[in-house]
Amino acid sequence: MDCIFCKIVAGQIPSDVVYTDDRVIAFRDINPMAPVHLLIIPREHIVSLNDITERETPLLGHMVQVSKQLAKQQGVGTKGYRVVINCGSQGGQVVQHLHMHLLGGRELSGGLG
């Protein structure tokens, strides 16, 4: 498989890992859009949110819990942060491996409410 995130999970491509467990790995984005910009990805290759089945629903909940924990560890938990999952090319998904962005550390614009 030629998935950059799968290669990061396998240790074939170096990354600045901030969290890892048996289901997910989190690392700093190489092109950060905020002072804190982490990517939280499942170890299992899942292309996008559209490919989630009932079996993976607990995994998404785990990813949200990890994002909350990391926000606190990164010092943005109380000031505010954004968690985003892009889906498909028109939704802004660049890497075809499900991932969650955690952004914070500055005032974020363009919110939806």
Using the predicted structure, report yes or no on whether residue 113 has a pLDDT greater than 70: no
pLDDT at 109: 84
Looking at residue 25, its pLDDT comes to 98
End-to-end CA distance of the chain: 38
Q: Residue 99 is part of which domain span?
A: 4-104
Q: Is the pLDDT of residue 110 over 80?
A: no
pLDDT in tens, 8-37: 999 999 999 999 999 999 999 999 999 999
- Residue 24: inside a domain, yes or no? yes
User: What CATH number did the domain enclosing 42 receive?
Assistant: 3.30.428.10
Token look-up 């950060």 returns: 32
Catalytic residues: 99
Contact, 40 vs 100, CB < 8 A? Answer: yes
The residue count for the chain? 113
pLDDT digits 0-9 by tens, 60-74 = 999 999 999 999 999
Please indicate, yes or no, if residue 8 is contained in any of the structural domains: yes
Tens digits of residue pLDDT in 75-103: 999 999 999 999 999 999 999 999 999 99
Residue 113 lies in a domain: no
Residue 62: in which H helix or E strand, if any? Answer: helix 57-73
Has residue 111 been placed in a domain? no
